[in-house]
Structure 1
Amino acid sequence: MMDERSENLILEKSYQFSLIIIELYKFLTEKKREYIISKQLLRCGTSIGANVNEAQAAISKRDFISKMSIASKEARETLYWLCLLKDSHFIDPEKQKVKNLFNEINSIINIITKIVKSGQVSEK
């Protein structure tokens, strides 16, 4: 899996993003004592990479697009929870780590959206 990930941008980005989300989850639960939103964030933030990874074993183009569409939805949900954490002051939007986190999730959303759209266009 390591070789495949290093050769596939979205596999690598979503995996690395999952690691960051796990780190943020630990911070939120241990330091901020926030358990509800952080759990939601952990689930959807790590689900992006799981669905992208699952899409690699798709049995058809339609199956691939379906899995990537789920990854897209999870990424957008992740962005929602991150915005909620930022706007409720659990995370500081001025910190570089937080800025990088938002840049990364937006990059992931853009990549997955392009993958899904290009797959749907070629199916028609």
Structure 2
Amino acid sequence: MTAPSRPPLKSITSPNGMQHADRATPRTAVGESKGVAEGVPIAVCLDPQTGDGRYPVAWLHICAPRGAVPTATSKCLCGRDRSAVGKARVLALITDHEAHRDECPLRTPQKGRTAA
């Protein structure tokens, strides 16, 4: 039994052994010319993300999947980082996190400090 013959793997060459590529036809421009590449802003724009000057300072993350033990984490930019596991401790941490809002040095103006 003989194996089936395979087609040649090399490309077809001209009689002198060189390959010729087709020349591309020049394309005509359609529409107006663009000063810069697409997607590059021409003028510097203000950052649309800037809001009214407020930014988050403290985060409370609560995870309470159905049928599992709830957990919570309270973090603040002032350095506060607390966590709790269990329903009673999570509820206590929520209360403590709310109380920290009034006591946080980053949120409340400090005494004796002048306005800039």
For the criterion TM > 0.5, the same-fold answer is no
Higher radius of gyration, 1 or 2: 2
Q: TM-score, normalised by structure 2?
A: 0.28
Q: TM-score, normalised by structure 1?
A: 0.27
Pick 1 or 2: higher relative contact order, CA cutoff 8 A, min separation 6.
1
Higher fraction of strand: 2
Higher fraction of helix: 1
